[in-house]
Structure 1
Amino acid sequence: MARRATIVGSGPNGLAAAVSLARAGYAVRVVEAASTPGGGVRTSPLTLPGYRHDVCSAVHPAALSSPFFRAFGLDRIDWIVPDVSFAHPLDDGRAALAWRDLDRTVAELGADGRAWRSLVRPLNRHLDHVVDFTGNQLLRVPRHPITTTRFALRMLEVGTAAGRRMLHTFRTDEGAALLTGVVAHANTRLPSLAATASALYLLAHAHSTGWAYPRGGAQAIADALIADLRAHGGEIDLDHRVGDLSLLDWGDPAAGDLLLLDAAPRLALTLPDVPARYARAVRRYRYGPAVAKVDFALDGPVPWANPDVALSPTVHVGGTRAEIESGENAIAAGRIAERPYVLAVQPSVLDATRAPRGHQVLWAYIHVPAGSMLDPTETVTRQVERFAPGFRDRVLATHAMTAAQRQAYNPAEIGGDILGGTFSMAQAVRRPIVSTVPWRTPMRGVYLASASTPPGPGVHGMPGWHAARTALRDAGAPAGLEELFGA
């Protein structure tokens, strides 16, 4: 009889673990609380029939460089790679664009072009080195020390107030805002070393593999993984919410059966005989601010004051660097920003499958304090209208989800935190514990496989792949586990 592997959670990390173990010969069962699989990569008609909205994530900068997805097979998904990775509108009809072509971006940034090239080029030219450094546990000697050193120096330059004062890195509103819109993805107080590290990672992708997304919606990622899982004998158990692992039949760890958790690490504490030291470490792991999201069905394109903004699916809406940092710092202090940073995605500009002919969908979220009950619809509408006059008149229907509702929808999003834990340098090392193998728990056969483990958030499948490979090595599998995918 084959060894059993039970995966709790069907997000991209849980599915990455599931297909890896199924290919290794395990009898795999994925247990999912929702009525549809996919976790953070679900697509659904949230507003009106014919409009396909991404329920959680929408654009996936890390996907095309992910070692897991490269081994799994990138060609199994129809990826759209925009010529413009992201856009940033400003008042008075101004805008800045991050073209995938670095030289074009540099030319359009004018006085800030040289600084942008200096910041990005050493990283995007060695993207594999950046991915290797950031995609694993940081408690190890880096295999590419030159790239790692360059990365660290740029963190200090951009991520500290002292570095910015000394180097005056960006002098124009356009250059400073274009950078800050990426830094603000981290949902933390700014300036911040951790947020800057995240931004450098995203920027390296913006000017290399690009900020890709699947045609038809994020669900295409889950569908491809599920098809492979089922082809290798795996199954998915839907509408099965697990709140206490002691009640879950996951086999016999003494016989080599495995339990992998694409869930909040504290779920592991519901197992019997958890060592007290491990339980204390997991309870000390902190969660950060949340997001509140709204989806729009539109009767046409967003009427941006600067039409070039329509060239990019991803738009950072928030004004100047000072405005964005002020708003993010308000959230970090537990307050709602009056004019917040809005992370918006207009997938229909390159994907006609997402809405009826001539119509579009818009995906948008703002940062809010954990557990917030704020409906973001009016706040987002007002902020988008600021840079796209007439936007309100294009709206046919909306669907909102508050931070509190996000946790109810996905228990792994504690308080509505979609990043799997506070984004800080301390928690880059302690994620969720300080260990060279943080995916392994002290409970026999039990592993963590969520964004609360390295390398953290993003649709790249790496926490699940690390967890599965750790489990296989613990079981005595050979080192060349990439061969599971025919690499």
Structure 2
Amino acid sequence: MPENFDVIITGSGSNGISAAIYLQQKGIKTAIFEQASTPGGATRTEELSLPGFKHDVGSAILPMGYASPFFRNLPLANYGLEWIFPDIPYAHPFADGSAHAAYQDIDKTAAQLGRDENAYRDLFTPLVENWNKLENDLLGPLGIPAHPIDFLKFGLKAIPSARMLVNHYFKEEKTKVFFYGSAAHSTLPLTNIASASFGLVLTTMAHRYGWPFPKGGAQNFTNALLEYYKSLGGTLVLERNITHLEELPQAEAYMFDLTPKQLLNIKGLDFPGLYRSRMSNYNYGAGVFKIDWALNEPIPFTNDKCKLAGTVHLGFSQKEIEDSEAFIHKKNMTDTPYVLVAQHSNFDNSRAPDGKYTAWAYCHVPNGSIKDYTKIIEDQIERAAPGFKETILARSTMNTVQLQQWNPNLVGGDINGGRQDITQLFTRPIVSLSPYSTPDPRAYICSSSTPPGGGVHGMCGFNAAKKVVQDHFKDIKV
């Protein structure tokens, strides 16, 4: 390996890789250093339950990976990436056996909603049609929007809480619960300001792009990114746990796909006490408890819409989901939590042996919880799919501590790199005109602890890499 690089990236999550790819595309020589033996951060696939059953350990459904303004323009299909599009992006079953489906077709989706049909169409049609005007501003640092009127219209819908939005737009309880299913991805109380924004963005993704996932496992998304990166001349170094800047080769700049907790542990960085204090006060969000199953047959959902959906949201009333997402921030849990289920093998037979299936699920839990929520999650699935437990051949579970041991960026089981409430949505990791910069002019942070936050979209790394070019390679156009 050459001793000198222009930029060194520590961490091979999707943001670290996107930063490295962007810089290599600009002719800037980079290397990625990763502490694990397998690259990808939380976007990896392993045989967790039984031999031949491929499970996505972290991220599983990647709508933002497919829709990302940066990733979607990369030639990843040339490097083995194939996307699977379930018949229905996501579905939400109800206690009476009915279900609503988020079809890619807005009109077909709205037609299920009774009195809310027109309101749903009026809410989402402008967002889907104008997404190309919004995406770069919503997926970047706070600044002057390129399309201020469209941005303002979105903001007026996104700033309220999810509860305020559904009570304003919708009359039917089922429609409200249906929207909560996507809004609750935020891991915020649904009474919090701006919790509506997550539901708006994710539902817009379902209608504009679908909610696809990589064939064969999320690892194949990481692999395609890295093969393209290497084709540009990039270098990947595995099993290097960096604890001091001196352990890295000399470079003009250093980028860290790490959350504040990990960044502050690296010695040799010139951070003053005030900056360290502010970063130490960074707030991490709720954690998750995750289960992967090897199944003898598909999940036997009562409603066929759920059988055709790649993702199923579980929560059987507005109050049930509100309580679930509120209690976790009070270090408590309900017995009927909001649960996310992914069922890849219904659409991708490469995930399991012939005639067998996989499923993936998690619920939100208090940060750092070590309680076993297996029964609670399986009971919730059983309500929508009687007989589910009899299909289980084996399971693998991970609590918040185990998730952090697997990937140190998942602090306390927080999969979003920090709480994504109104105080940290655009001002993560601290309030700054340049959220990717640090007081050390050599060092930059490019993880999901920077705007736009959690998700496999690579935009944190992309935005941070542009800042590095502006600061250190002024003769190169960003």
Q: Is the contact between residue 10 and residue 32 of structure 2 (CA under 8 Å) also seen in structure 1?
A: yes
Residue type at the aligned position of 2:124: V
Show the 5 A alignment for 1:400-415.
400-415=397-412
Q: Is the contact between residue 130 and residue 201 of structure 1 (CA under 8 Å) also seen in structure 2?
A: no
Q: Give the secondary-structure state (helix, strand or coil) at the position aligned to 2:462.
A: helix
Q: Which residue number in structure 1 is paired with residue 425 of structure 2?
A: 428
Q: Is the contact between residue 159 and residue 194 of structure 2 (CA under 8 Å) also seen in structure 1?
A: no
Q: Is the contact between residue 160 and residue 193 of structure 2 (CA under 8 Å) also seen in structure 1?
A: no
CA distance in 2, matches of 1:193, 1:212: 29
Correspondent of 1:150 among 137, 144, 153: 153
Q: Is the contact between residue 419 and residue 457 of structure 1 (CA under 8 Å) also seen in structure 2?
A: yes
Q: How many residues align?
A: 472
Q: Which residue number in structure 1 is paired with residue 131 of structure 2?
A: 127
The answer on 1:185 being equivalent to 2:185 is yes
Q: Is the contact between residue 376 and residue 400 of structure 1 (CA under 8 Å) also seen in structure 2?
A: no
Q: Is the contact between residue 53 and residue 352 of structure 2 (CA under 8 Å) also seen in structure 1?
A: yes
Q: Give the secondary-structure state (helix, strand or coil) at the position aligned to 2:434.
A: coil
Q: Which residue number in structure 1 is paired with residue 348 of structure 2?
A: 351
The answer on 1:69 being equivalent to 2:71 is yes
Correspondent of 2:84 among 74, 80, 91: 80
String of CA shifts for 1:5-60, please: whole Å, max 9, x gaps.
22111111111112223333444322222221111210111111111110100111
Q: Which residue number in structure 1 is paired with residue 99 of structure 2?
A: 95
Q: Give the secondary-structure state (helix, strand or coil) at the position aligned to 1:425.
A: coil
CA-atom RMSD in angstroms: 1.8
**Structure 1 unmatched ranges of 5 or more:** 482-487
CA distance in 1, matches of 2:162, 2:378: 30
Q: Which residue number in structure 2 is paired with residue 249 of structure 1?
A: 248
Q: Which residue number in structure 2 is paired with residue 194 of structure 1?
A: 194
CA distance in 1, matches of 2:189, 2:57: 26
Q: Give the secondary-structure state (helix, strand or coil) at the position aligned to 2:112.
A: helix
Residue type at the aligned position of 1:311: L
String of CA shifts for 1:202-234, please: whole Å, max 9, x gaps.
111111111121111111111011112222333
Q: Is the contact between residue 161 and residue 190 of structure 2 (CA under 8 Å) also seen in structure 1?
A: no
Residue type at the aligned position of 2:162: G
The answer on 1:437 being equivalent to 2:434 is yes
Residue type at the aligned position of 2:261: R
Q: Which residue number in structure 2 is paired with residue 316 of structure 1?
A: 313
The answer on 1:261 being equivalent to 2:256 is yes
Alpha-carbon offset, residue 87 of structure 1: 0.3
Q: Give the secondary-structure state (helix, strand or coil) at the position aligned to 1:313.
A: strand
* Normalised TM-score (structure 2): 0.94
Alpha-carbon offset, residue 313 of structure 1: 0.5
String of CA shifts for 1:53-74, please: whole Å, max 9, x gaps.
1010011121233121133235
String of CA shifts for 1:86-114, please: whole Å, max 9, x gaps.
10011121111111100100112122211
Show the 5 A alignment for 1:265-284.
265-269=260-264, 270=266, 271-284=268-281
Moved more, 144-153 or 70-79: 70-79
User: Identity, % of aligned pairs?
Assistant: 38
Q: Is the contact between residue 250 and residue 259 of structure 1 (CA under 8 Å) also seen in structure 2?
A: no
Q: Is the contact between residue 293 and residue 400 of structure 1 (CA under 8 Å) also seen in structure 2?
A: yes
**Structure 2 unmatched ranges of 5 or more:** none
Runs of 4+ with >6 A deviation: none
Q: Give the secondary-structure state (helix, strand or coil) at the position aligned to 1:63.
A: helix
Q: Give the secondary-structure state (helix, strand or coil) at the position aligned to 2:294.
A: strand
Alpha-carbon offset, residue 192 of structure 1: 2.3
Correspondent of 2:325 among 321, 328, 331: 328
Residue type at the aligned position of 1:130: L
Alpha-carbon offset, residue 125 of structure 1: 0.8
Correspondent of 1:374 among 371, 375, 383: 371
Show the 5 A alignment for 1:111-126.
111-126=115-130
Alpha-carbon offset, residue 277 of structure 1: 2.7
Moved more, 377-386 or 65-74: 65-74
CA distance in 2, matches of 1:156, 1:473: 31
* Normalised TM-score (structure 1): 0.93
Q: Is the contact between residue 159 and residue 197 of structure 2 (CA under 8 Å) also seen in structure 1?
A: no
Alpha-carbon offset, residue 479 of structure 1: 5.7
Q: Per the alignment, do residues 87 and 234 of structure 1 end up closer, same or farther by CA in structure 2, a change over 3 Å counting?
A: same
